[in-house]
Amino acid sequence: MSGDGTGSPDPGSRWVVPAPDRPTLRESGGVPPPWSRTEAPGTALDGHDSPAPGPAGTATAPGDGWRRLPALMLVVAPATALLKLAPALVVLLLFGAGRGNAVQLWIAAGIAVLAVGAGVVRWRTTRYRITEERVELHSGLLNRQRRSVPRDRIRTVDLTAPLLHRLVGVSVVKVGSGQSAGKESGLDLDAVTTAEAERLRRELLSRPAAGTHPPTAGAPGPAAEPEAGEELDRIDWASLRYAPLTVSSLAAIGAAAAALWNLLREADVDPRTLPGADAVAGELTSAPVWASVLVGVVLLLFLMVAGSIVLFVERWWGFRLTREPDGTLRVRRGLLTRRSLSVSEQRLRGVTVTEPLLVRAIGKGAQAGALTVGLAGADGEASHAGALGPPVPRAHAHRIATTAARTGSAVTDGPLTAHPRRARTRRLVRAVGPALVLPVAAAALAYAGGPSWPLAVAALLVVVAVPLGLDRYRALGHRLDERYLVARSGSLLRTTAALRRDGVIGWRVRQSLFQRRAGVVTLEATTAAGNGAVQVLDLAPSDAVALMAEISPDAVRGFRA
């Protein structure tokens, strides 16, 4: 048994069944209690007989279901670590060789050796198994980790294959439980063979029948040929026109530019010393100011548009949305890094259609998404975690949302109940109020002898804030039908959310000081899906109570009283 008392069967230790007055393994979350370090031979974690563990350093006995990562990870893990350190290694090698200093060369060689050694240790100490009730992952040498996820808590299974993984035929399996944000919400198997990853996806999203046992590493059995799923959507490259209009792509371009600038600074490279930099600087210095500004703006726009198109292609290359034979919604996409996200349809609580301002105003487009238990987009691809496809024409996005929700009519489209006029006043005040601060500051600056052009810009922003506030009011609306609560709000990012009635697990009514003065409230239908709630902004109190009474009559008895 391991020294941390977490249940890894090592030589020289024995398991015993816990006493009746002590918590069982199921009650303790599958982690053996401290007193179980002297346990009877032949007793496994679940209290059933199992083969005794083999000698140290050998493969685990076939009967206990533990599996190792493929030997290909001896290549992938060190190569991935070296690729992440490639910029630093290049700088060390170039400057070490150029200055005749061998210290940098030895440092680079030492880093490479450590990366290879860490990969070997990681492969030797990582193993996993799938039982009828749990998915377990043991890893680490100095910092041992024991992760366990109940199978009935599994919400999503994400298969990710970066370029290096694809070259050797392995994939990362990410099991999401939706219990918290970040890495603690599940476990990652980095990595298994592509065929094994596909088999695990099907196995983990299916509930084992009573009395059946999952296949073990020693007896995997013949792999059944998966049935083809129903294709719901695929990539249409006409959607490229939306790439420069999405904020996420522009933010990614800014992050890449910042990373490049930091790399140049770390390498002690002055951009002004690059070839041709003096000539360009001379031309810009001799040109009029307006011409230099225009050239800079045009160059920046070109880089942003080109970069956003490249990111769009990498992100949505080969996109397909399918419904698998078991009812699972599956999204596959990616050029360099291939991603496959599978969401059990039993966890689907609704759908969304989001319309960013530029995508809506210029391209008349939108993006369909899923409200799924355990999929909130907390990290990494947060803005695309629940996306059912790239931005597409608005009507097409509504059709995808309708198909995913299995409704006969467009659940996210159609007329909505308008909110009271007091909500319009609030939207205008919230839009214009902050903008009025800028003219005051600009006027004070001009009065102190500063330039006067900031005052004109601030006044223009106040004028623009008025239609923005009116647009935010026009976006407000809600509807309640036989199956869904539909709510819409937002201007910069307009979102229409359709939440199933049976997906509502509670209500929250909020009213700020200004809302009390206006006589409106914000109603939140709490759910286990998405970000945890669907908001209906600036409702009349009587309308909020009526909505709650229609869906959850018992929840509004206190309000009516």
Total H helices, total E strands in the chain: 15, 22
Backbone angles phi, psi at 257, to 5 degrees: -65, -40
Residue 210 scores a pLDDT above 60: no
Distances (CA, A) of 546 to 274, 475, 486, 537: 68, 21, 15, 15
Q: Are 335 and 314 in contact (CB under 8 A)?
A: yes
Cα–Cα dist 526/512, whole Å:
19
Cα–Cα dist 406/37, whole Å:
52
Q: Which residues make Cβ contacts (< 8 Å) with residue 386, sequence separation at least 6? A: 352, 369, 370, 371, 372, 375, 376, 377, 530
pLDDT-based confidence at 300, cuts 50/70/90? confident
Peptide bond into 191 cis (omega under 30): yes
pLDDT of residue 490: 93
For residues 8-18, average pLDDT: 40
More reliable by pLDDT, 25 or 541: 541
Quick one: what percent of the chain has pLDDT higher than 70?
Answer: 72
Mean of per-residue pLDDT scores for the chain: 78
Predicted confidence (pLDDT) per residue in 105-153, tens digit? 777 778 888 888 888 888 899 999 999 889 999 998 888 889 999 988 8
Please tell me the total number of residues recorded for the chain in this structure.
561
The alpha-helical segments, DSSP class H, found in 341-498 are: 357-361, 394-405, 421-447, 453-475
Q: Which of 353, 392, 362 is nearest to 245 (CA)?
A: 362
Quick one: what percent of the chain has pLDDT higher than 90?
Answer: 40
Residue 65: strand, helix, or coil: coil
Residue 323 scores a pLDDT above 80: yes
3-state SS, one letter per residue, for 194-246: HHHHHHHHHHHHCCCCCCCCCCCCCCCCCCCCCCCCEEEEECCHHHHHHHHHC
The 134-139 sheet, strands edge to edge? 67-68, 127-130, 134-139, 145-150
Predicted confidence (pLDDT) per residue in 162-182, tens digit? 988 999 999 999 988 765 444
Cα–Cα dist 404/408, whole Å:
11
Predicted confidence (pLDDT) per residue in 367-416, tens digit? 999 998 766 543 444 445 688 999 999 999 999 999 999 988 889 998 99
Q: Are strands 14-15 and 338-343 parallel, antiparallel or unpaired?
A: unpaired
What is the phi-psi region of residue 364: left when phi exceeds 0, alpha when psi lies from -120 to 50, beta otherwise?
A: left
